[in-house]
Structure 1
Amino acid sequence: MEQTAQPKPERRQRIFSGIQPTGIMTLGNYLGAIKNWVALQDEYDCVYSVVNMHAITVRQDPKALRENTLAALALVMACGIDPEKSVLFIQSHVKTHAELSWVLSCNTQFGELSRMTQFKDKSAKHPENVNAGLFTYPVLMAADILLYQADLVPVGIDQKQHLELARNIAQRFNGVYGNVFTLPDGYIPKLAAKVMSLQEPTKKMSKSDDNPKAFIGILDKPETIVKKFRSAVTDSEAEVVCREGKDGINNLLAIYSAVTGRDFPAIEAEFAGRGYGDFKTAVGEAVAETLRPVREQFDRYMADKAFLEECYRKGAARAEAISQRTLDKVYKKIGFLAK
């Protein structure tokens, strides 16, 4: 009896994204990025990295960098990134990133890097250390993406320029040496909450804000979270409704909707005729409850350093196996002798 050939399973598109080990992850990072990373694991072939090599463009305390790198790994896992489903690794553990970055640097124009707005911004913030790495780190970012032949890269507005550069470098290399790199596209999540400052709601929530009341850290205690929301800036009205000019309330509505899954009309109906005090407390309590399992899981992971080490070692091995294939093709194309 003849057996019919089974069709090959369709290759899932690959997504690459990275997170810097900054020490603090905000509610904005969680709702705007990490929560979506978790959802993507079921639909895509996901590669996620703690990009500690990018972090050193600004001078770091070595001990703090080691601690923050491990904490960042534990935190993304606590948020729901499964190292069995996704490739999760620490960037400096995979040597191909630095190696490809050099080759790509030799295929990137000085003028292209001069136009990068983040170089100008960071140079202004850190005038005492305007280093070559700060200038060329968009090339390392391109290497991060192109090594894994990523089809998609989740990007915010501030990263679109870097993704365009990665595409330009890949197109130039492919044009000179033949097709090696997949051209990555930006991925815009279906649902991505844009979280603004609790004290200046026209500005994005940021961990670098001088006012600690302006942002919520994922690991903040429940009572701290509720207290910060109670002090959130709103307006002189008393109506919980989404409307132009009500930036503070609009921000709280977006946050409450993101953590409860309820739409704006339902939330507005729930708080009709009630004051801002009730609403701000409800938002704070909902956020605190949403983040509770993340905090608890993070504490469990940080108490088991051996398990975290096992995860990042396995992740690095998987990442190197994938990325080495790309690097080998690149080295052959440009004329490097095989070992």
Structure 2
Amino acid sequence: MATNHKKHSAAKPAKKRGRAKRILGYTGLALAFIICAGGGVGLYEYHQLQPKNYITPKTRPVLATGTKEQSKQGNGTFNMLLLGSDARATGSSTDLSNAASHSDSMILVHIDLNKHQFNMVSIPRDTRVYLAGYGYTKLTSVQYMDQVNHGEKQGIIDTVKAISQLTDVPINYYAETNYSGLQNMVNTVGGITMNLPFPIMINHAWYPQDNGKSFTAGPHFVDGRMAFELTHTRDGLPGTDFGRQRLQEAVLVGIAKKIMSPSEVTKLPALSKSLRRYLVATNMPPQLMISIGIGMKGFFNTSQDIHYEQLFGKSEMVYNDVLKAYDEEIILPKSEIQMLGKKNF
């Protein structure tokens, strides 16, 4: 598993400007949602929702099994996929649904509440995968194609299955957010501090007034709008998409630190009730969110409990069966994927 953050020699610059503006740029926000959910339950319910009691093979669904046995997942542990999509709000400002969207960012997470540990692995959106009924295409296209042809939920489920088959990791839950969810969440907690891994200049801002703004490497306090601008930036970053994944990590850690700070702890019960306003879709029941919050309360330390890595691959010009044309896709080595399972899952 590649654990450094070097620019891949084969990675190419960003695509067209219009497409870059449509891209969300952040997935890991959903992880922050579930961390903050453990408040406001009674004594009996508190006991029943302890992770070792609630998160078991009987209550934990299996959306996709990879090639591993479900029995290897002990009590208090599970795997989930965090999705960031280009879904747009329709109807009211809190309605984040959309008929079809592309999976722009994908993070596979193993959560072990016995060890208070989150192992996170970013998967490139342009990874080459097999889509049943179509052939080989980019991972980002799976959700869109199946939502167009089979409905919103099926598109998400098939994305989960594609990643499970790619990584040989069983996946239990998913949580999808979009650019509106990111901005609203950051604003709800009053802004966050992002520790930027490298200097950034915003060249193709979503909001025109942000064009040309620059940031040095290091900590910066940002509101929801600027958190979105930074995490959807792609052009000019070291490693393009791989660089953007590091910005996703930075905003995730920033949100987690803010919501678990002493000044915010008293707000967690109220915040947990509004979590679904920030999600496009999820199969996580409210009880699971509370169980996770109970498991992490009093223990959460972002520098020790969140372990983040990136999957690197080789960019190659190959035939895309969906587009009926050649395009650049990321080929992930089998050896690297196997190490992912052994080390993180």
Normalised to the residue count of structure 1, the TM-score between the two structures is: 0.31
Relative to its length, the structure with more helix (as a share) is: 1
Higher-RCO chain (CA-CA 8 Å, sequence separation at least 6): 2
Normalised to the residue count of structure 2, the TM-score between the two structures is: 0.31
